[in-house]
Amino acid sequence: MAKSPILEQVYQKLGGRAAFGEEIASEADLARVVARRIPLRALTHFTRSGFSEQEVAEYVIPPRTRRHRKARREPLTVDESDRLVRLTRIQALAEDVFGDAEKANRWLRKPLGILDGRSPLDVARTDSGARLIEQILAKIDWGAAA
């Protein structure tokens, strides 16, 4: 089975083999990596893909906690790993739908009426919120107004 383009994007955005030390060829592989806890170095790649340090602090891991983990050479927790993958997936989906990283990243941060004035990125903090954003992106992709 071929790796989905979104899964490939998530893998590359988080640093690929350099960050994970292994290939991720399926959603099952990604779930295993999250359960084993993603290395901190994936955050460097995450910021290179368009997320600010402030967004890392707000959505994934606070700076102080990150410094402590780095000093102890500990990976992200399972929850932090899950949040990291969730936001990366939403970004990859948005880039796929909009066909342009800049447009996608602007849309992710724009307050939307359909989300009660919250941004898609803010709503995607939770799994149910991320699913909602995925549905909105699917509607946009199919040409429906969102």
pLDDT by residue (tens digit) across 12-69? Answer: 999 999 999 889 999 999 999 999 999 999 999 999 999 999 999 999 999 999 999 9
pLDDT by residue (tens digit) across 63-72? Answer: 999 999 999 9
Total domain count for the chain? 1
Query: Is residue 10 a part of any domain in this protein?
Result: yes
What is the model's pLDDT at position 146? 47
Query: Is residue 62 a part of any domain in this protein?
Result: yes
Query: Is residue 110 a part of any domain in this protein?
Result: yes
pLDDT at 1 over 80: no
Query: Is residue 146 a part of any domain in this protein?
Result: no
Query: Is residue 22 a part of any domain in this protein?
Result: yes
Which structural domain, as residue segments, surrounds residue 118? 5-141
DSSP string, the chain: -PPPHHHHHHHHHTTHHHHHSS---SHHHHHHHHHH---TTHHHHHHHTT--HHHHHHHT--HHHHHHHHHHT----HHHHHHHHHHHHHHHHHHHHHS-HHHHHHHHHS-BGGGTTB-HHHHTTSHHHHHHHHHHHHHHHTT---
What is the model's pLDDT at position 44? 94
Query: Is residue 19 a part of any domain in this protein?
Result: yes
Query: Is residue 59 a part of any domain in this protein?
Result: yes
pLDDT at 2 over 70: no
